[in-house]
Amino acid sequence: MDARTPADLEAALADLAAPVKLLFFTRTFGCDTCGSARRIVDSIASLSDRVTVEEFNLVLDKDEVRDYGIRRAPAIAVVGEADTGIRFYGAPDGHELVSLIDAIALVASRDSGLSGESRARLAEVEQPIDIQVFVTPT
Amino acid sequence: MALASPHVTAAAVAAVEYPDLVRQYRVTGVPKTVINGRVEILGAVPEAAFVSQVVESVA
């Protein structure tokens, strides 16, 4: 965790400029952390009326799994006006909770927060880039 | 970066929950970033350097 308190995280969700959907992908069998991940997602949504949750099943909801490129469960797709390509795999606790809330705030603001130079370089990209960042919760 | 480009997707993967991916990408420490399944970045990197490595991975 960084230095932010639960109150800070709640404040980050209090004034979202636009609605954000959390698409939660679960699996009925063989998913030890799907239950805790769903509880975390629900608790985030309870802090802001602009955050909503939709649940899909990794096995049954083939269209959504394909459309959002989901490979595993639990997974969360952070979606604003359109899909953002931001995903969280695994239960978002500890530091990942902070990252998820930051992602929600960024998506609501529709501003990546990157420097002008970074934006210019990314604007040149015309091929798919898939970034996976491996993290631990603490 | 995913917000800044429609071509970029970005996933945070909880290493402890996906031992198969940890093995596949030989994750021995975190954060470890894997781009398009092949380019690897170890540790936290300043924004400009990180963006450069990501963009250059498909150049």
SS3 for B56? helix
Query: Which among A122, A130, A135 is the nearest to B12, CB-wise?
Result: A135
Give residue-wise pLDDT tens across range A72-111: 999 999 999 999 999 999 999 988 999 999 999 999 999 9
Q: What pLDDT, on the 0 to 100 scale, is given for residue A2?
A: 59
Min Cα separation A42/chain B (Å): 19
Q: Provide the shortest C-alpha distance from residue B54 to chain A (in Å).
A: 8
Report pLDDT digits (tens) over A76-85: 999 999 999 9
Q: Is the pLDDT of residue A41 over 70?
A: yes
- Shortest Cα distance, chain A CAs vs residue B28, angstroms: 10
A·B CB contacts under 8 A? 152
Nearest CA in chain B to A72: B18
Q: Is B8 on the interface with A (CB under 8 A)?
A: yes
Q: Look at residue A1 and tell me whether its pLDDT is greater than 80.
A: no
CATH fold, domain A6-123, is: Glutaredoxin (3.40.30)
Q: Where are chain B's structural domains?
A: 15-56
Token code pair at residue A122: 């990314």
Cross-strand bridge partners of residue B14: A135
Q: Is the complex ipTM higher than 0.90? A: yes
CA-to-CA distance for A120 and B29, rounded, in angstroms? 31
Ordered by start, the domain boundaries in chain A are 6-123
> Got the DSSP string for B1-20?
-TTT-TTEEEEEEEGGG-HH
Residue A137, Cβ density class (10 Å: 0-12 exposed, 13-18 middle, ≥19 buried): middle
Contact A1, A38 (CB under 8 A): no
Do A135 and B51 count as a contact with CB atoms less than 8 A apart?
no
